[in-house]
Homo-oligomer: A and B are copies of this chain.
Amino acid sequence: MFTGLSAFPLTPIDEKGIDKRAFVGLVTRLADAGVDSIGALGSTGGYAYLSREQRAWAARTAVEAAGTTPVIVGIGALRTRDVLNLAADAQSAGAAAVLLAPMTYQPLTDDEVFGLYEAVTAEISVPLVVYDNPGTTHVTFSDELHGRIAVLPKIGSIKIPGIAVEEAPGRIAVLRAVIPAHVTIGVSGDWLAAGGLLGGADAWYSVLAGLFPETVLAITRAAQTGSSAAAVAASDRLEPLWALFQRYGSLRVVSAAAESLGLVNSPNLPLPLLGLDHAARRELEAALVVLGLN
């Protein structure tokens, strides 16, 4: 389950609640495209902003809409107690795995981060993906901390931040040396991910694939079959989107792109998050036209 392409859909929401029909549509689109797994309630799925009830609904609905495609459900929260409740809800919903980032308000020590994973892996029956995302959690995982956590029971994969293409093989080799062989390494940071796969990563945990699964699957399959040049070229072709991701944040960009495709209403992000402004939307529209994704 923790190899190939994992696609992370939006959970469209406004101040009245989740747009249930749109969420089912987004998940169904991913299953139909043949992605290897679906990451519901990831950062792109807005997990940090939703209530326990909304998250339980989204987990159940994603599993149902995904059919035979395995669904990985995000269970992060600031308190360990809440994470344990969310893990139980995800398992009841039929999640094939759970995804856990160490959310922070007070900065956490390494022992506190480890303690969180220890407590959660002691309770769950499905595998867990360690979600290393310093851009949202502000936790810096040392290799030593990755190594301590990766030997806990139930750890199945580590989702790591983007790595510059030239550094990917070295970085992945270093991490591989401190974790058990059965734990896979998945890259994120979509604009760098083709390089990560070619540099030895097992999986791509992708925001863009949550909206454009075929486009990202083509890059993934090229990388998996050793067609390095084709994978790099297909990723480089998306540069207009990658530039927007880096400038405005991938969440705001896929939110606006999903609106543009008519797949979600506007607004679809929880306040205080705002969608792209008018000028950025025009840039995005132009990029989608050039890429034939409109």
Contact = CB atoms under 8 A, between A and B. Distances in A.
Contact of A79 (B49, B78, B116): B49
Tell me the dominant secondary structure on chain A's binding face: loop
A135 to B, nearest CB: 7
A107 B48 CA distance: 12
A136 interface: yes
A81 interface: yes
A232 interface: no
A272 B80 contact: yes
A138 interface: yes
A114 B248 CA distance: 17
A104 B106 CA distance: 12
Contact of A106 (B43, B109, B116, B119): B43
Contact of A270 (B49, B79, B113): B79
Interface string A109-144: 101110110010000000000000001101000000
Interface residues of A, number: 32
Interface of A: 15, 43, 48-49, 78-81, 102-109, 111-113, 115-116, 119, 135-136, 138, 249, 251, 270-274
Given A48-B105, A103-B105, A109-B274, 13 more contacts: A15-B80, A49-B105, A79-B271, A80-B272, A104-B136, A106-B136, A106-B249, A107-B249, A108-B273, A111-B274, A119-B271, A119-B272, A138-B138
3 closest A-B pairs by CB: A48-B105, A80-B271, A116-B272
